[in-house]
Amino acid sequence: MIADDRSTERDEACRCWCPASKWWLELESAEWFVVWNTKQERATAARACNARRRKRNASKVNCLIMASASQSSTTIADEIPVIDFLNPDAADLQKQIYQACSTWGFFQLINHQIDDALITSFKDAMGDFFSLPYETKLALKRDPVNARGYFDDELTKRRRDWKECLDVGVPGSRNWDIPDGDDANSCLDGYNRFPSRKDCPKFRDVIVEYFDACARLSDQLSRLLSSALGVQEGSEEAKLLDRMMHNHTSYLRMNYYPFCNVGSAGEEKSNMDEPPPLGISPHRDAGFLTVLLQDNDCHSLQVARYEDGDDKDTDADWVTVHPVPGSLTINTGDMAMIWSNGQLRAPLHRVLTDPNKVRYSAPFFYNPGYDEFITPLSADYETSSSSSSTDAAKYRPCLWGYFRALRFAGDLTDLGVEIQTSHYKVDSDSNHPENQIVLMGQISFQEPFDVDKYRQILQMS
Ligand SMILES: O=C(O)CCC(=O)C(=O)O
Ligand SMILES: [Fe+2]
């Protein structure tokens, strides 16, 4: 049984609150409550609900499926692969990573070799930062000409997230010793804004050390993925990764999710007749891969489960990613999906809010150089028949600096539809592949991108 005692007070429409998913359920009949105790029953319920939703052309039954996934999360979470980085069998390690990234797009990495003491200091540093007075954090606020810094007003897929963040990225000079605001440090994403040493004495040193450790780990993971995809070391195709090691444009995001006792319209919990807001709305990470440090106490990250060959975003079946103690959660992003011609998945995921607990997390986004055109590996733009020795390319080349600038613009301000990899599918009629060339002629990747200045071109796509 998943609903708490409020379920006994269901109204005509059989609405009830599901504490497991923290979501309202709209049900047509009470028998739906009891069918979710096993995975098999849950799958049957999901199929029946989908059929019912299609028939009624309604969106509400979605909630039922989301809730059912997290209800049985103790068993389902076990299915997100746990991979041991110290596996002595290199071929087996590659295979496991490939399998995880081509199905779930997520796995949990144990024995990742980032020091426990560093992780503890990093978590303490995050806690210190987010406990600063709001005005102190606000003084570091990001803006339309600097993507880095503090913010609490991010939009994901045009909806405001329930979180506070601080973004710190690799300096333009690639040298952490040069002062953050120095011209040498500016790049498309702007420049870093750290709290003062007076406010957070050890913060900068700890963040830089953790950042560098994540970059090294990301490089190792990318190479394992690349070998698993059959890319030969030293080959032309491997060069993207060689360059990425030196020209990556990664950033580390520190997330703080306050507990949430309001509905989506901001009313008090007692009056709530809307589902609560989300910590982060469903999205895919834009870069190559993400190294995520999760919160051991508050488990709110959910990933969409896909059936074989299924690539739909609607009707997602959500599975909670309970962090294995000591692990880092890894997922592949949009650029890995394009690069692998769709063999690796950029998984849809979201973060729930919690009515009682705060949560901290820190994704490190490992991103290519701004000027890289990410192109499907060993794929051919001429090939249309499956009898050819190379696969037909599924995506057109994607300029990372353009994709990143547009994603940032969409996080900051509502531009209409957010840029997605689907806009680069060979059969898409989107203007992005052409617009990226136009924009490339107008901007410099060594200068902060100005969202307001290029608003017109951003909205053209
Ligand atoms: O907080 C989390 O666990 C995930 C965060 C996330 O998905 C993101 O910041 O892109
Ligand atoms: Fe994410």
List, in order, residues 6 or more apart from 260 with CB less than 8 Å away. Answer: 162, 276, 277, 279, 353, 354, 355
What is the band of 41 on the pLDDT scale with cuts at 50, 70, 90? very low
342 or 273: which carries more pLDDT confidence? Answer: 342
Ligand 1 atom having least distance to the Cα of 290: 10
328-362 core/surface letters (b: 16 or more CB in 10 A; e: else): bbbbbbbbbbbbbbbbbbbbbbbbbbbeeeebbbb
Ligand 1 centroid vs 418 CA: distance in angstroms? 18
Return the ligand 1 atom nearest residue 163 CA. Answer: 1
- Cα distances from 162 to residues 78, 263, 331, 350, 358, in angstroms, run 27, 11, 22, 12, 11
Q: Where are the domains of the chain?
A: 1-75, 116-373
**Confidence check: pLDDT of 140 > 50:** yes
Return the CATH superfamily for domain 116-373. Answer: B-lactam Antibiotic, Isopenicillin N Synthase; Chain (2.60.120.330)
Q: Is the CB of 280 under 6 A from ligand 1?
A: yes
- Which of 161, 167, 361 for mutating ligand 1's site (highest number of atoms within 8 Å of CB)? 361
Task: Give pLDDT, residue 17.
Answer: 42
Type of residue numbered 42? R
- 348-407, pLDDT tens digit by residue? 999 999 888 999 999 999 999 999 999 999 878 876 545 556 789 999 999 999 999 999
> Which has the closest alpha carbon to 449: 179, 196, 241, 172?
172
From the CA of 73, how far away is ligand 2's center (Å)? Answer: 20
CB 71 less than 6 A from any atom of ligand 1: no
Say if ligand 1 is within 6 A of residue 330 CB: no
CA of 302 to the centre of ligand 1 (A): 9
Q: What pLDDT does 314 receive?
A: 63
Nearest ligand, measured from the Cα of 301: 1
Q: Are 460 and 152 in contact (CB under 8 A)?
A: no
Indicate which ligand has the atom closest to the C-alpha of 321.
Answer: 1
Instruction: State the closest ligand 1 atom to the C-alpha of 257, by its place in the atom list counted from 1.
Output: 1
pLDDT in tens, 71-123: 333 333 347 999 999 999 999 999 999 999 999 999 999 999 999 999 999 99
pLDDT in tens, 427-453: 999 999 999 999 999 999 999 999 888
- Looking at residue 175, its pLDDT comes to 98
More confident residue, 175 or 44: 175
CA atoms of 409 and 251, how far apart (whole Å): 16
Distance CA 419, CA 459 (A): 10
